[in-house]
């Protein structure tokens, strides 16, 4: 098991915290359900149990989970919208940093994939396009995971290990940003989901056309508009 310094441990624990919180807010772990055991989380994430406990302790302090004898760590009863708003306010600086990083990196990823489109990338994107057009993305949690995975897979298809590393580090923050849509009104939330789907289609179409500039522009537009929708009441 790797050994981390204090700041790196906190960063990894923060990523796990956001990942678990995403699962809770999006319904993967409903109220009164048990989270995976500490040793399972440690194994799945390739981290120490001490890092897992740090993330779980933070969730407990937030009132999101509680320890229960015989059941392990259990999700508390909570109002999802209130909880999402509280965590949104606490992590706005990180969210802004995440969007800024994505805006600098992801348009180039899309452009590179478009310029060097492989058969596997084409097959993946055609499947994604079909699913988006049929609106066949399952539950809200499954839709959010699929959304994040779309961006990470594009990095994989760029064949650039640094892009892949960056996107994997951003994944929990991307899921957290998707949770923030729970703080929007139903109308605004539904509008965000619909617009995001169409923006993904624009990116996919540009990449499949192997138009690097159009792919770069479509991805930049998607990220910038997503940030605008989430931070609309902050401007």
Inter-residue contact 208 to 126 (CB < 8 Å): yes
Domain boundaries, the chain: 6-78, 82-234
- Note the CATH number of domain 82-234: 1.20.120.530
Domains 6-78 and 82-234 share a fold: no
Q: In sequence order, which residues have a C-beta less than 8 Å from that of residue 52 and are 6 or more positions away? A: 13, 16, 38, 41, 42, 45
Residue predicted with more confidence, 219 or 80: 219
| pLDDT category of residue 26 using cuts at 50, 70 and 90 | low
CATH topology classification for 6-78: Arc Repressor Mutant, subunit A (1.10.10)
Q: What is the pTM of this model?
A: 0.69
Eight-class DSSP state of 180:
G
Residue 34, class by beta-carbon neighbours within 10 Å (0-12 exposed, 13-18 middle, 19+ buried)?
middle
Give pLDDT, residue 87.
Answer: 59
């Amino acid at each position: 098991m790797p050994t981390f310094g204090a700041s790196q441990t906190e960063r990894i624990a923060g990523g796990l915290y956001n990942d678990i919180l995403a699962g809770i807010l999006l319904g993967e772990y409903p109220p009164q359900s048990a989270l995976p055991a500490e040793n399972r989380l440690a194994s799945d994430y390739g981290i120490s149990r001490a890092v897992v406990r740090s993330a779980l302790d933070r969730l407990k302090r937030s009132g999101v989970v509680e320890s229960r004898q015989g059941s392990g760590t259990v999700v508390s009863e909570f109002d999802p919208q209130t909880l999402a708003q509280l965590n949104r306010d606490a992590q706005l600086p990180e969210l802004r940093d995440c969007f800024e990083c994505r805006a600098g990196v992801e348009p180039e990823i899309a452009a590179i994939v478009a310029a060097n489109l492989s058969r596997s990338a084409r097959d993946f994107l055609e499947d994604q396009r079909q699913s988006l057009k049929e609106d066949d993305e399952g539950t809200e949690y499954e839709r959010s995971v699929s959304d994040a995975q779309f961006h990470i897979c594009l990095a994989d298809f760029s064949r650039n290990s640094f892009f892949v590393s960056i996107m994997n580090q951003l994944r929990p923050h991307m899921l957290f940003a998707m949770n923030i849509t729970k703080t929007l009104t139903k109308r605004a939330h539904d509008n965000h989901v619909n617009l995001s789907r169409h923006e993904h289609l624009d990116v996919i179409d540009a990449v499949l056309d192997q138009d690097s500039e159009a792919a770069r522009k479509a991805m930049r537009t998607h990220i910038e508009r997503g940030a605008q929708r989430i931070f609309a009441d902050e401007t």
